[in-house]
Homo-oligomer: A and B are copies of this chain.
């Protein structure tokens, strides 16, 4: 069920082959407050620029297509976003500036905008309380839909997301759409920023930042709620969706929880965790169930030139393999911990208060094969 004040739909516009759902629409009964966070990639898609421009303005609708990212598509790509927003605006009786647009799919291929525009009346006609078709319409190589909800007092926060995977396949793009009926005086952008920082910003599949990453939070404000309740519920939904993305990562077979403690700041801990998550060598070892902890240490040492290696303690699962500068423990015990489809790598790097968990996955031959072809 969508939160009060929202309806959603998903239809097939023919952008993806074989009649798959590829256009999703979320509509608010009235103009609603919203917040958004977007990719910082300089090659951001045209739709990202459009949404950034709409920040601060109440909106009526979000339209999203899968199968084409509409990124690096030049002036034609920008025109396609405008035409899409106009088509939704006509259907909804609102201004194009009140329509948010998102895309996910192959980069650099012209968006078949006519197909998208032609699908808008059907998408509007299919709007309902049921978000399932919408959740399907944004999938690329996701193996399952990703939804999550949490209560904020009497109000509800509901999220739908797609993960780091493409059908085409191409650049991984991550999209998340949160709606809530909570009425709070809070700055929605602050609520979303705080949640994104410890959820979507702490997952790493292949360290490749997308041109289309977008997270939206729309609030109809129908149900009274407390700020803290809303903040907690938004964070819970973001964390749950982020974890679902890593679980369903392209070619990934394991969820690796990288926990860094003892850093100077949380930010430093995140930097170290992301460096480990980005190491192809470590990720390949993780996929093979090989407790190659030297690669973890080398990844941290490459990103922090002043890492006090003599103070570092490193464990895989419950097995400590490096204790304040000295190798120790049982490789076999660590190997057993890695047999699970989820395991922890913990790195205590000093005595500071900074800590962070980064969720990552392994690197498998499936990832390479999936991404070795298929642009056209």
Contacts and interface: CB of A to CB of B under 8 A. Distances in A.
A371 B304 CA distance: 24
A371 B365 CA distance: 11
Contacts of A300: 42-43
Nearest to A369: B365
B290 A42 contact: no
Most buried by B among A291, A325, A370, A371: A371
A223 interface: no
A302 interface: yes
B327 A108 contact: yes
A285 B322 contact: no
Interface string A286-316: 0111111111011111101111110000000
Contacts of A363: 280, 368
A327 B73 contact: yes
Given A367-B284, A368-B368, A298 B373 contact: no
A94 interface: no
Interface in A87-111: 106-110
Interface string A68-93: 01011111100000000000000000
B108 A72 contact: no
Contacts of A210: 298
Contacts of A114: none
B74 A285 contact: no
Contacts of A290: 372-375
Interface stretch (A50-58, A189-197, A201-209): A201-209
A41 B298 contact: yes
Interface string A333-376: 00000000000000000000000000000011101111111111
